[in-house]
Structure 1
Amino acid sequence: MALVHGSATADATAGALHALIIGVGGYPFLSGGSAEKKLPDLHDFGNPGQLTSPPRSALAWVEAILDGRITWRLPIGSVDLLVSPAPTTDDPEFPAADYEVPTHNAIVTAFEGWRLRCDSHPDNVALFVFIGHGLQAVDTLVLPADFGERGSNPWPQAFNMTKTRKGFERNAAKTQLFVVDACRTMPMAVIESPDAGVPALAVPKTRQTVRWETDLTIYAASNGERAHGPHRAPSYLTQALLAGLRGGSARQHRNAWRVSTNSLAYSLSELMRIVGARHGQRVLPFNTGVEDWLVQVVEPTADLHVGCEPEAATASADLSWHHDKHPSRVREVRSAEQWVVQAVPAGFCRVEANFPEGDYESEPKPLFVDPPKVDQLIPVQPT
């Protein structure tokens, strides 16, 4: 069963979070796959092969949703998980379990059940995450685990995510979150067949009514570019989004800290840098409609980068951080580089620069820290 939490039927009396998480790493009919007969003309598709990051990413999403490290605004109604691990030779330490493989038919079935649950109440939050191979033709396409099984015409086994997202707009769930964590490269196969009639999971209609109030759709890569993830570890986008939901995108709302669709989209580029995304990966968040808060955070933290203005004074400064409810922190070694103070509590604090040699003077600098990162230069004056 793909359903790892909740019931196949939704409680229509109240809103809830309904998630469908798909991680495709094992592709039998692509390069390095287990099937004897592979997709013809693999090079025309960019020679796609096996992936170790998507299965780990999918498990990270489910673990983060279910283990309580993310406190959602709504109760968790259902979580669907489909995973195809890369071959054991590529990822021998992948946890042994019976996961439903995200073949074309399995994804269609899981999506339909998830769609109906999302459609059961207007206050629902719909979360869709796909991690695996993708291509960019006229629209963005993603590839299920059995892509290539049908030989020379594999396109009916792919999915058109652009049209799927458009078609899902008529779903009753007022808050809709779509994450497409896949490459959007343009190999020869899509150049020669830019509109090959790839099916959508939700077919858009010309006269459909748009029912969402909040839409956050995130693509892991820009047109023609690749998405990346460490070997045998969650993708950079997955790491960034989960870090944001755990508090890296929190903003203060009255006396509480919350992660909203707006704050998650706004902080995503910085979160990608913090988790170490490489290769110039450019994430594209499309944030539309009314801001909706998703997660409440008890005490978010941020990385604080502290230096002096002028910058030459940083090398001779004793830098310190102070908070009314936490022990102070002091830079132990002087350096010309900014001092990086990791995981400081968000909110009001102050930073100081003292100069034992008496070459500069300054006053404490009040500061409000917003996650995920704050840069602060303390103005100083030569004596």
Structure 2
Amino acid sequence: MRESHAFPTSRMTEALQMLHGYDAVNEAVMLQTCGRLEIYAEVDEFERGAEQIKTFLTQFRHGTIAFDLESYLYTHLGREAVEHLLRVTTGLDSMLIGEAEILGQVKSAYLHAQRAGACGSSMHKLFREALNAGKAARTQTTIGEESASVATAAVDSIEARMGSLEDRCAAVIGAGAMGRSAARRLRSRGVGTLLVANRTHTRAQELVGELGSGIAHDLREITSILEAADVVISSTEASTFVLTAADVAEAMARRPQRPLLILDIAVPRDSDPDIADIEGVTLLDIDTLKSVVDDRLERRRQAIPQVEEIIVEYLERFRTWYQARTTVPTIAALTERAETIRNTEIERLFARLPDLTPRERMLIVGSSLTMLSKLLHPAVTTIREKAGSDRSEALAFTRLLDELFSLDGTHNGRLR
């Protein structure tokens, strides 16, 4: 199921534009990681918006699907959705609690949505606050200590099975973010020989250059790579199998006395599941990794209460902003009307007193601005506070301001 809805990076903009094209979807961001595909959206009406998102999921890549999509979905609404994103960015909702990669993945999702024109004020504010919450969690607590990323877990798993890597040959398939992280980890653990393969040979060369060691390969050399390696970590964004049973069988026939460990951390998976049936080959996937690092996560777990306090803080900040934003048109209209009156009266005064010096004019304008600010401040402060605490009272107060100052109903009448 997870593989069925993995979106290649090359098609993410197209997917977002299609999703944003549904009439009930006002804004949208798609977050894809090695273990999740989540859509964050602001919709006109919940039920219609949710149905359109489901339609998008079933039709964008497949036309129709033959399984029950509902059984694989979870849906959060309003405050729950905001809290969920905050738990994601702070690392509490990750397979490996506190993992470092998630912030980069959330930022990438946000930037993709911006480029696709799918982001509006709500998603801009929500994702900026979520990213700030993630940074705060990692700087103010120990949630990010004792590295336990997926790539680290992969290398830990390899060492647990093979021992020291000093005399081993390791191959990394894929030079994307996960592949780069895995290669750096292998290098730091003193692997004897490191092979890096990528569909684009130049990217493999770039990664080898960054590491200062290793051998770059093209994926067309996959059989030779498999023949040479003791262990393979695969993490590409390919939509088809990169490691086929035929290629692995051919490589193993050339090295019958040497076992091969393959750890596939890609989504969708890079390896044909039939590889597991080949003699001498051990095939592990991303679902096997969580148990590898459980004993190293205790310190991070101890930070959970502190991180939850940070989540509450940022959740309240966003809630206050989201509810107060509906008062912006009324506040803007009130301020504009007051400024128009002030400016008109100042012009009349100056016309009656043509002999005023520039300094006198400046003092008069300054005093008028100060008086206007002091007059408006209580009303503006009150409406913002009420928007954050009592929706019905804020709406009534907004309507009263409309009537008192002839603002022509400039607010939208909704406090969601």
TM-score bucket of the superposed structures, by smaller chain: under 0.3
Q: State the structure with more CA Rg.
A: 2
**Which structure has the highest helix share of the two?**
2
Q: TM-score, normalised by structure 2?
A: 0.23
